[in-house]
Chains A and B, each alone.
Chain A
């Protein structure tokens, strides 16, 4: 793995004027700012660690102190969402039916129409209904995800859930993944988002969404499919320069043979001597008939052929490799610090990764305590998800939206829909992926929709809302206490020229400062 040895001085970073951080008061590196005392610095730190600063998050951190707030973020308890948000989640089909049941009902529906329908039009209509139901379930999952981003007290856990969903990317457009993505996020990713990397890696490997997305269902002894094996090493653990060879890809693929998905209620006829090896957990299946029981030489060491335990051994090696520590740490630093993160910070994080046996919260603690983190505040360009979520959080604070549809639509327009990245590499985390001319103009249109207060976030499908939507109040105490101070002169000048409160909102949400975190 190539480790650049030259530290990029902060002065070489793009001159983005004075941004939210507002910490450009000294030219020498300030000490680690563990407990930002002044409102501007506190607001800037919260803005990066949460899905975007808003009044309630600010008040909470102010009340218990930044250190205690950060500690709670790194080691969160059960997330208690506001009742109005939780009620929306509870009403969802994906909350009410366990995944195997959901999948089986849908598959049954498909089989039924295939058998029963004779004429093409009826068949088409039935197929459309099946497709629509899958899309509806995926939309439920995306809505649930956004509600948590907006309102969960465990903001860091939610940011990390998005990060890992992107790191272990699956695409909802493949096969029946629209039914699986919600469970993947809820069961495989979120519970481990701040835990041990090894557990996270294993839980993605055992989820049907991942197995199906990267074709491991097709991977069987003497009929090797390398897709998943390659991506585990290239994208999930070691990184493309992590020191593995094509032969390691093939060996890992052999190790992964037999790891598959079983959606039905039938159990395969496993040969007698291997019956005890058969594993079925939910929709996950390990089928010994399909496994290659020969010995493998993987990353320079022999893996004795013995079934599913080989996978555990491979994951142990991968998750404890220094290459993985560096690769994952660097990606975290790109997400939380800068497009080109300081190499020394990455090295410290990687060292913590290894010394803590891949404890994600411990690695993040190293990151958040670093002076490089504090110095970077306000300078990271928001990707569309961060832009949309932070704008709605800032604008409406804890007033619970009733319809996530407009937000999902905006993410589509900006090309970053949840579960919508087709390739396994996940969405780009750096500015060039998201700051194209068309996308900037789209952001301003979205800023205006939010700023005007008529975007439809409080319009339920069907019945009209009982109360009239409160006009967004962006010019509030939080603004005057912290945000205002960090605005560049050009932004203030524009705001002064606003002809109406709506226009003032639109301009603030369109400003360069609000495009960064």
Chain B
């Protein structure tokens, strides 16, 4: 990132040079989505998939069909990473550029792709066949380096396998052929597990152990809505996405609203780098998830549901569609569920398109409404006025699964697991420098050290708990407990050994937040760029001791004035490493010499003028031959 303005989610007015979408095709696509502006994301995804570009002429047509203005369509098209205003290749290879992938050999994999394809990262081949780019965490950190090839996921890449993939693509193989010659004949579940390992290392009693089919839902139809909510309240269940809001209370607020429509939305947008537990639940417990959503619908009286699936998990879409279809057939979705009068509920899948911020409740709702993924102003809260202005319950995948199990096994059973204030089990997704990366279902209350012993990560020097928005802790904190009251986490545990460079990790995480900020509010949009630049200065050894205060001060402003959770937590990589690894920072600072601040790089400051004037500075140009 050069001056914070050029790189990243490219927005440019340069016209898409390929012939725009053929006449009629746009109208057809729009019509399939009822010319409904709220389905804009689906429309644009479809156009992108088929024509590799959202050209200006196409945006004009879409605007006309859906009754929007061109700029409104462009606002959506330019917001999401997987949509592009410039033509992309027929196949887009997206290499997962997470810090874990970097440490697992991403550089060699990138080099192999670049070499075999004859293009650099960020480029599209001249014949329009293939594009190569980086993308932030795709949820495969336990099998890094990983990549998406259109909708197909490849894991555990090496330079060798990368080269083979590139050659197969050049030879005209389709992305699905990379997985199996018999791809078409495989079931959706087989396809998913061939691409991606589940790596379930420890199955607990609640989610990953044996789960009876629809026992929770049967219970739910035998009791009243308010009894369901009471059970959830008594169980002590809290949201598993990270924020930890009491689930029962959320449902109760929504149930109290008197309206003709209300909604249940599942947040399957886990984008926090290092988190992949929902991926495993979506693959192995999809029925339990839909069961949980159905129970929530009965509790709050909702008839419509949306499963918001992050764009990176598109490989799971068919599997989930199949589950929904099967449940409709079996009378578990649709009209009069389980023969119960006035219990109607159905679910549609909403695909995301590459935006971390859509994991935020309000942004997720915006995205479902066909808008850019911007958080909503609160109040009103979604439980009062959410999707399309109607009361909406948004819960995470794991939370819904828990709810279904609580209905089956009872509130006390769940309440008795874990610790005071943190009841039940939690799925931890563990990756990085450990022997057994994968999923661990454990009761709340284990210490970090206990978990490290389980995963074979005893030589950890640093552990990132809860992903970048969580906390980076050092060995002296490994006794701390994984609970809401101590180290709260949405589930990500990233292990780093002593060979890793803490500032490099912080720099990576800050670039991530710069890339993923929605840009709505000043402190997050601008402040995070400054924070990342300051970390760069530390990495280059150009920082002064006062720059440590600058980091703290700027972080404080960003946290206090940001509009949503992203900006309220984005300085955490900086603050938690400053607190837990102070020596790393002080080792990189030096006091001023010769009256010139070390932070001031005179060479680069005068370089522009030097070039224009074609003269050199006799004081500062040390090398007179240049």
A and B: bona fide binding partners: no
